[in-house]
Amino acid sequence: MKNITKTFPGVVADDQVNLDLFPNEIHVIMGENGAGKSTLMSVLYGMYRPDDGDILVDGKKVKIKTPIDAQALGIGMVFQHFSLIEVFTVLENFAIGRKGGKVKLNLPELEARILAAEREYGLSVDLKRKVRELSIAEKQKAEILKVLFMGARVLILDEPTSMLTPQEASALFKSLQSFKKEGKTVVLITHKLYEILEVADRVTVLRKGRVVLESAREEVTPSILTEATMGRSLTAQEYPREAAPSTGTLAISRLSVKGDRGETAVSSTTFDVHRGEILGIAGIAGNGQRELVEAIVGLRKSQSGRIQLEGEEIGGKAVRERMRLGLRYVPEDRKGRGVALNLPLTYNALMRDHWSAPFEQKHILNFGAATKFAKEIISEFGVVCSSESARAASLSGGNLQKFIVGRELLRPTRYVIAENPTAGLDMAATDYVRRTLVDHRNAGNGILLVSGDLDELIAVSDRIIVMYRGQTSLPVPRKEFDKLKIGELMLGQGFQSL
């Protein structure tokens, strides 16, 4: 792949990326979320057309417009969500779209050929079972076999271990090693350090759409990879901090939370958020941060453990009750959770507090108070909008976020849970939101800041803890902040493997 550039509205996903793949190798592509790894591979597989650049196969320039073109060139891809029909048997899934056969399905003939392929690649899958009856690892095996059976020489796997147990993952790696010996090229997209060290022959690291490192396995160390992935530039922006007295604590102890699929998303986590501090939670997205926040706010049931707000157990309380006790929440999903898009700002302003004075008096909503509050948010936070009666949907993302942050922070509170509050904001808005958080800290409120942006956490936090696979690290105090050290923790170094 030569000089591949792919942009989406407003973002350059890949910027003049070069990538060479050879037979008999496992090539790992590493990078943070949004670094452009998946986009690059989707270009190779014909899911996206590149804006610029060429793809050469065996020295010949090729045009890959659809996955079918890619398959014809021997390029196959296994996505995180599999391309398998759940209600069909594995065998039927292999038969979809076959050409040149008779009108009637000839499944026994196909089965014999798949069984031969199973032996060749050392993958055994029960072909007669329905896909929905298979475990995730079995589905993945079926999908890999399908891709190989369709003639792939280059096998691309997008985060293949994200849903596997360690045992299943090492079985997968063993298979990948054997494909390599048979002359295949295996491309592994991942952000897990140990996987690279275990299986890679070569590593390419992408950061913000550019290749920042391309090297053989022998030449890299964990710290080189971490530095390449995270970048070294420390943020220049400083926020004035004052010593704030710590007068109370939001205490999380041995909290376990289940994820959407019933898996353990947060496992027995313990930490405290003190008033007068910003506690940052670092970690690559999907390591349990979302579930943790939802459990604290009251949007998700916790399995076990305690959440105590200044000594009072709030784990079983309704969201409103938690808010009444002094918790505010800036959700990451601002359009879905932060506001009602089709309602005017006035209504959105009173939403968090519609049950309390001055917004509600004797069961009647006081829109005068709501309008006043909306105006206050708009002027204090410099929200650009036509008026307080503008629909929330008419605001840009940054202004919407300023409005939400204003709503959550202008009312008296004691603790704020902020979830990626600056994601997608421009520099000025980002700076403003961070400054507001630090101001709140200085005013003696406790802030739990979950962020995927390590620079942000280092800029504003008093302490940082790292979340990895549902576990949390011990807090790192501000004077010991070290980007590389925290980066290694984010990639799982130092966590006991589960």
Closest to other proteins by CB, 232 or 261? 261
Question: Can you tell me the distance from the alpha carbon of 498 to that of 487, in angstroms, rounded to the nearest whole number?
Answer: 19
CB of 35 to other proteins, least distance (A): 22
Distances (CA, A) of 52 to 19, 29, 63: 14, 20, 12
Q: Which residues pair with 176 in a beta bridge?
A: none
CB of 112 to other proteins, least distance (A): 17
* Ramachandran region, residue 351 (left: φ > 0; alpha: ψ -120 to 50; beta: rest): alpha
CB of 291 to other proteins, least distance (A): 27
CB of 231 to other proteins, least distance (A): 32
CB of 39 to other proteins, least distance (A): 13
Nearest to 130 by CA among 89, 179, 85, 190: 89
Cβ neighbours, 10 Å, residue 9: 4
Closest to other proteins by CB, 89 or 215? 89
CB of 68 to other proteins, least distance (A): 5
Q: Which residue has the tokens 């700002």?
A: 345
Q: Which amino acid belongs to residue 218?
A: E
> What residue ranges bind other proteins (CB under 8 A)?
47-48, 66-68, 71, 83-88, 92, 95-99, 101-105
- 280's CB contacts (< 8 A; 6+ apart) are 449, 450, 451, 457, 458, 460, 461, 463, 464, 465
Contact 295, 255 (CB under 8 A): yes
Q: Where are the alpha helices (DSSP H) in 344-387?
A: 345-350, 367-381
Question: Can you tell me the distance from the alpha carbon of 292 to that of 110, in angstroms, rounded to the nearest whole number?
Answer: 47
CB of 46 to other proteins, least distance (A): 9
Closest to other proteins by CB, 104 or 181? 104
Residue 334 DSSP label: I
Closest to other proteins by CB, 110 or 292? 110
* Bond into 358 cis (ω within 30): yes
Closest to other proteins by CB, 71 or 399? 71
Contact 492, 282 (CB under 8 A): no
CB of 397 to other proteins, least distance (A): 21
CB of 8 to other proteins, least distance (A): 12
CB of 67 to other proteins, least distance (A): 5
Closest to other proteins by CB, 153 or 402? 153
Closest to other proteins by CB, 132 or 174? 132
Closest to other proteins by CB, 143 or 277? 143
Closest to other proteins by CB, 98 or 324? 98
CB of 89 to other proteins, least distance (A): 11
Q: Which residues pair with 130 in a beta bridge?
A: 89
CB of 115 to other proteins, least distance (A): 20
Question: Can you tell me the distance from the alpha carbon of 298 to that of 352, in angstroms, rounded to the nearest whole number?
Answer: 14
- 72's CB contacts (< 8 A; 6+ apart) are none
Closest to other proteins by CB, 65 or 362? 65
Question: Can you tell me the distance from the alpha carbon of 220 to that of 216, in angstroms, rounded to the nearest whole number?
Answer: 7
CA dihedral 186→192→195→196, nearest 10 degrees, is 70
Closest to other proteins by CB, 133 or 182? 133
Question: Can you tell me the distance from the alpha carbon of 459 to that of 480, in angstroms, rounded to the nearest whole number?
Answer: 13
Cβ neighbours, 10 Å, residue 384: 11
Question: Can you tell me the distance from the alpha carbon of 10 to that of 173, in angstroms, rounded to the nearest whole number?
Answer: 37
Residue 89 DSSP label: B
Nearest to 114 by CA among 104, 126, 105, 102: 126
Question: Can you tell me the distance from the alpha carbon of 487 to that of 164, in angstroms, rounded to the nearest whole number?
Answer: 23
Nearest to 149 by CA among 116, 124, 109, 107: 116
